[in-house]
Amino acid sequence: MKKANTKHRPEKQASLIVDKENELLKFLIAQLPQQGRNSIKSLLAHRQISVDGEVTTLFNYPLVAGQKVNINRSKVYQERRELKPLGLKIFFEDEYLIIIEKPAGMLSIATDREKELTAYNVLSTHIKKRDNQSRVFVVHRLDRETSGVMMFAKSEEIKEKLQNAWKEVVLERSYAVVVHGPLTDDQGTITSWLTENKALRMYSSKTPNGGQKAVTHYKVLEKNNSYSLLEVKLETGRKNQIRIHMQDIGHSVIGDIKYGGIKSSINRLGLHAHILAFKHPVTNEIMHFESPIPKEFLSFFHKKQNK
């Protein structure tokens, strides 16, 4: 009989003994160096930390020497197993926010025309398993074929707080983008005004014409004779902004048939939400989340040489 592989399976429960006075969050960060600060805060928010048998969610809970801090991970592992078949990764979750990695091909939220599986209803199901009254709210969207970091709120109040102060709250939105052709300029800024027609297609204009101002900054990371890999940062967040601005400079996103591109060998849009950094709307902590550049993007530039 084949034995189960448990080589890298963490203990579902762990106990730590306090050696001196400290605050709980600082103690956990020092004791669990392999875990990130946000991951530890998520354990607290999910009521998975107890001190001498008493569950607490307080970051600054005062500890004294001799106390026992218990960590119960079983709940997290169960939730990850349930979400794994849907291909949705949760980077961070507390009582106010959920930060995810959305895969390419999944809608952010259903539309009047499309009612299929979405990131929104996957997360709704996820949180309702703990509390049937819980809800999630879309703070911003990613196109169906765009992958990467995305934020949801757990209350309408938090959603509105984020959206109303979006420019002040969001510190960085960075995308990895593969476009057709080598760019001449290694960096630049694109500014135009975007409007949407009745067919839901966005158009770009060099003059206002009643449209919304859109500003996109780009930097070339790598390029060859056929493609360029760009780091793109948004100063504004308009619908289809990156796709339209890439078309404006004559280098459409690969796979973007709607805005001047052609079908790509990786069968997806060459657009990935790489980094999202923002100020937490309640704790004011600076949060930074990064989803690696997809390997299929890099394959255009790092093809293995035939021996």
For 148-171, letters b (16+ CB in 10 Å) and e give: bbbbbbbeeebbebbeeeeeebbe
Q: Single out the residue of 304, 302, 272, 292 nearest to residue 179, CA to CA.
A: 272
Distance (Å, rounded) from C-alpha 199 to C-alpha 142?
A: 19
Taking CA atoms, 168 is separated from 95, 161, 218, in Å, by: 22, 11, 21
Six-digit token pair at 194?
A: 């975007």
Q: What residues are annotated to the active site? A: 143
Sequential pLDDT tens for the chain (307 residues): 333 333 333 344 578 999 999 999 999 989 888 777 777 877 787 678 889 888 887 888 899 999 999 887 654 444 444 444 356 888 888 889 999 999 998 889 876 555 567 899 888 888 887 777 889 999 999 988 999 999 999 999 999 999 999 989 999 999 999 999 999 999 999 999 999 888 888 999 999 888 999 999 999 999 999 999 999 999 988 989 999 999 999 999 999 999 999 988 898 999 999 999 999 998 888 999 999 999 999 999 986 544 3
- The model's pTM is 0.71
Task: Spell out the residues 6+ positions from residue 95 whose beta carbon is closer than 8 angstroms to its own.
Answer: 45, 57, 154
Distance (Å, rounded) from C-alpha 220 to C-alpha 132?
A: 47
> Contact 37/28 with Cβ under 8 angstroms?
no
- Amino acid (1-letter code) at residue 31: Q
Q: How many residues does the chain have?
A: 307
Domains and CATH numbers, the chain: 13-72 (3.10.290.10), 74-164 (3.30.2350.10), 169-307 (3.30.2350.10)
